[in-house]
């Protein structure tokens, strides 16, 4: 065999290995979920009760599904105005200036900070502040976790929409300016309509990241296995209940956690696929 062929087989083997690992992961998630599925069936998805006490065991994922969606949607709603303004500043108003450079470098740096550090900051800085202004007694809950999560996903929402906004052809903007449009009119009537689907996709992908974020959320959400009652209520997300309980769990309890993992896997896969599809289709 010549070296060309050998290289090809090695590369092929490596990429095949990734496929096998991904497939294996999905397989073990499904297999691990079966005991729980046999006991609770589809009711697992709609039951808010989570009781690991021996003898009285009952598991349902609704509290965590709700906690995850609630936290992530709140985070997204906070992140969008921040990300949107940042994108317009970096990709349009201050495009190619030192200021845009500084801002986008900082935003990119934010993406590289380990999530446990966001958690720590939330715990020691944000949480006491929330208590001091009287929004909540302990400072834990959906609100605190969601705020930190919002900051964490801003870089993801921003960097993609920046490049989408920059891709809007200059000649279209010039056409609008030549018709007497102001900068704001150019932004609303030319840049945004042309970049709309790409910007939407970048927010969907950021949402996908928020769904699965574990460490910082676990440190701040209060880890109460209940349906969250409001923005300042404590709760738990799918990712954080797994992180909290997998160590002591066994039997059906463990299987239920694995089933939650499977659910999260499927949901994030769908969200990511949707975002990527929109980008491919429209951008």
- Which residue, 8 or 96, is less far from another protein as judged by CB? 96
Taking the complex as a whole, the smallest distance from the CB of residue 96 to another protein amounts, in Å, to: 9
- Which residue, 165 or 206, is less far from another protein as judged by CB? 165
- Which residue, 86 or 194, is less far from another protein as judged by CB? 194
- Which residue, 90 or 176, is less far from another protein as judged by CB? 176
Residue matched to tokens 């490596």:
14
- Which residue, 195 or 216, is less far from another protein as judged by CB? 195
Check binding of 99 to another protein (CB under 8 A).
no
Q: Specify the 3-state DSSP secondary structure of 138.
A: coil
Taking the complex as a whole, the smallest distance from the CB of residue 90 to another protein amounts, in Å, to: 16
How many residues bind to another protein according to rule CB under 8 A? 18
- 36 token code pair: 């729980």
- Which residue, 178 or 250, is less far from another protein as judged by CB? 178
Q: How many CB atoms lie within 10 A of CB 12?
A: 10
Taking the complex as a whole, the smallest distance from the CB of residue 209 to another protein amounts, in Å, to: 29
CA gap 32, 125 in Å, rounded? 39
Residue matched to tokens 């929330």:
130
Query: How many alpha carbons lie under 13 Å from residue 7 in its C-beta half-sphere?
Result: 3
DSSP code per residue over 4-68: HHHHHHHHHHHHHHHHHHHHHHHHHHHHHHHHHHHHHTTHHHH---EE--TTS-EE-SHHHHHHH
Residue matched to tokens 């490049």:
163
Taking the complex as a whole, the smallest distance from the CB of residue 171 to another protein amounts, in Å, to: 4
Taking the complex as a whole, the smallest distance from the CB of residue 201 to another protein amounts, in Å, to: 16
Taking the complex as a whole, the smallest distance from the CB of residue 95 to another protein amounts, in Å, to: 10
CA gap 278, 268 in Å, rounded? 15
DSSP code per residue over 97-126: SHHHHHHHHHHHHHHHS-HHHHHHHIIIII
Taking the complex as a whole, the smallest distance from the CB of residue 87 to another protein amounts, in Å, to: 18
CA gap 84, 10 in Å, rounded? 44
Q: Which of residues 9-38 bind another protein (CB under 8 A)?
A: none
- Which residue, 31 or 174, is less far from another protein as judged by CB? 174
CA gap 204, 278 in Å, rounded? 10
| Helix, strand counts (H, E) of the chain | 13, 2
Q: Which of residues 160-199 bind another protein (CB under 8 A)?
A: 169, 171-172, 174-182, 185-186, 189-190, 193-194
Taking the complex as a whole, the smallest distance from the CB of residue 178 to another protein amounts, in Å, to: 4
Q: Which of residues 188-247 bind another protein (CB under 8 A)?
A: 189-190, 193-194
- Which residue, 170 or 250, is less far from another protein as judged by CB? 170
Contacts with another protein by CB under 8 A lie at 169, 171-172, 174-182, 185-186, 189-190, 193-194
């Amino acid at each position: 065999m010549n070296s060309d062929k050998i290289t090809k087989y090695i590369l092929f083997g490596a990429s095949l290995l990734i496929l096998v690992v991904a497939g294996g992961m999905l397989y073990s998630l499904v297999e691990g979920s079966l005991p729980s599925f046999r006991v609770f069936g589809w009711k697992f998805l709609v039951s808010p009760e989570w009781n690991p006490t021996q003898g009285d065991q009952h598991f349902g994922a609704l509290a965590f599904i709700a906690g995850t969606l609630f936290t992530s949607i709140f985070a997204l709603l906070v992140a969008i105005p921040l990300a949107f303004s940042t994108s317009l500043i970096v990709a349009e108003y201050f495009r190619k200036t030192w200021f845009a450079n500084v801002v986008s470098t900082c935003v990119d740096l934010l993406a590289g900070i380990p999530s446990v550090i966001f958690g720590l900051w939330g715990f020691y800085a944000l949480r006491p502040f929330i208590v001091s202004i009287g929004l909540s007694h302990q400072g834990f809950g959906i609100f605190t976790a969601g705020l930190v999560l919002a900051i964490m996903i801003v870089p993801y929402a921003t960097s993609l929409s920046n490049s989408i906004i920059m891709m809007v052809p200059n000649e279209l903007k010039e056409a609008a300016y030549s018709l007497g449009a102001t900068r704001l009119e150019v932004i609303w009537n030319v840049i945004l309509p042309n970049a709309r689907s790409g910007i939407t996709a970048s927010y969907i992908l950021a949402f996908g990241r928020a769904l699965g974020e574990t460490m910082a959320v676990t440190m701040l959400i209060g880890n109460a296995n209940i349906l969250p009652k409001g923005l300042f209520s404590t709760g738990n997300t799918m990712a954080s209940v797994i992180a909290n309980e997998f160590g002591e769990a066994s039997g059906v309890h463990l299987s239920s956690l694995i089933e939650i993992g499977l659910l999260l896997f499927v949901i994030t896969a769908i969200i990511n696929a949707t975002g990527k599809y929109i980008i491919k289709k429209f951008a």
